[in-house]
Amino acid sequence: MKKPRPRLPFFPADAFYARPFPGWEYHVHSLFSDGSSTLPTLIDYARSLGITRLIFTEHTEPGLVDGEGWFKRYWREGNELRQQERAMRNRKGFSSPSSDMEILFGLEVPITDFRGGLLMDAEMAEKAEFILGAVHAYPGYGWTMGELPPEQAIELEFKGLMALAENPLVDAIAHPGGICEKFAAPFPFSLFEEVVRKATGNGIAIELNPAYQSPMAPYLDICCRHSALISPGSNVHHLENIGQAAHELKKLQKKRSVIQNVNPHPRRGDTP
């Protein structure tokens, strides 16, 4: 059973054209897995960009993490840094809007089967503040998706995503269809839509991720059609990746706003 966890704020797709997209980044890797920077460096840089909520999502695959006992070190350092952040905000005379950034420490967790299995232990499941479920290596096939017939890769990806969309441990689904798209075959929008429908019905957010979903507009349109919850993730492995998802989403808002201002009364069949 999913442990009690504060309900995380996601952006409702049905409000996408009603209010500005916030400066959120929900998919970040540090040196504790396969990122290139330390936690403090990432936090400082995100603050300089005006990020207001930063969520770390370290991998759990043994080959991608920083050795044995990595999760205990990650959790300990993360909490120490957060305490420092709180002390800085509470310091007498210290006031800066750029310092007001919420930091959460979570995991990007791949499936281990098509029945709801996730690659994490009990301590991870208990302490992680955000679970970003992912289809990475296909269970039973490993990283061989590029060698599979396209229709088989699509089927396996879809099965894995639907398992995530029904898993109460999962807060959001990472790059739906992205692994298949990147390594095997184009993932059909019709199947992406099925995943969005199922996940939304279960209160699970959909990640929009420019590293895997480009152009982002058609994925966003499907999310809007089903009133999905949007989780902005940039698949951050390097400092320059921080905030790319939110930036792309803000660009889409601006573009659509311009179109609506030019054509405020669209004809039937026009794209808003």
Residues 249-260 have pLDDT tens digits of: 999 999 876 655
Span 24-85+97-258 CATH architecture: Alpha-Beta Barrel (3.20)
4 versus 124: the higher-pLDDT residue is 124
Q: What is the pLDDT of residue 228?
A: 98
8 A C-beta contact, residue 205 and residue 231: yes
As a whole number, mean pLDDT of residues 175-198 equals: 98
Q: What is the pLDDT of residue 267?
A: 44
Start-end of H helices in the chain: 39-48, 70-90, 122-127, 150-165, 178-183, 189-201, 217-225, 244-262
As a whole number, mean pLDDT of residues 134-147 equals: 97
**The residue to which tokens 């990746």 are assigned:** 241
Domain boundaries in the chain?
A: 24-85+97-258
184 three-class SS:
coil
pLDDT > 70 in the chain, percent: 89
Cis peptide bond prior to 215, omega within 30° of 0:
yes
Q: What confidence tier does 115 reach under pLDDT thresholds 50, 70, 90?
A: very high
8 A C-beta contact, residue 208 and residue 220: yes
As a whole number, mean pLDDT of residues 180-195 equals: 97
35, pLDDT greater than 70: yes
pLDDT > 90 in the chain, percent: 84
Edge-first strand order for the sheet with 24-28 is 11-12, 229-232, 205-208, 172-173, 131-134, 102-110, 53-59, 24-28
Average pLDDT score, the chain? 91
207 versus 96: the higher-pLDDT residue is 207
270, pLDDT greater than 60: no
Angle, helices 189-201 vs 217-225, to 10°: value is: 40
Report residue 112 CA to chain centroid gap. Answer: 19
CA atoms within 13 A on the CB side of 64: 18
pLDDT digits (tens, 9 = 90+) for 42-101: 999 999 999 999 999 999 999 999 999 999 999 999 999 999 888 877 775 555 544 589
As a whole number, mean pLDDT of residues 170-188 equals: 97
227, pLDDT greater than 70: yes
Q: What confidence tier does 5 reach under pLDDT thresholds 50, 70, 90?
A: low
8 A C-beta contact, residue 138 and residue 145: yes
175, pLDDT greater than 80: yes
Instruction: Give the C-alpha distances (Å, rounded to integers) separating 166 from 3, 60, 117, 196.
Output: 16, 21, 11, 11
29, pLDDT greater than 90: yes
Q: What is the pLDDT of residue 93?
A: 54
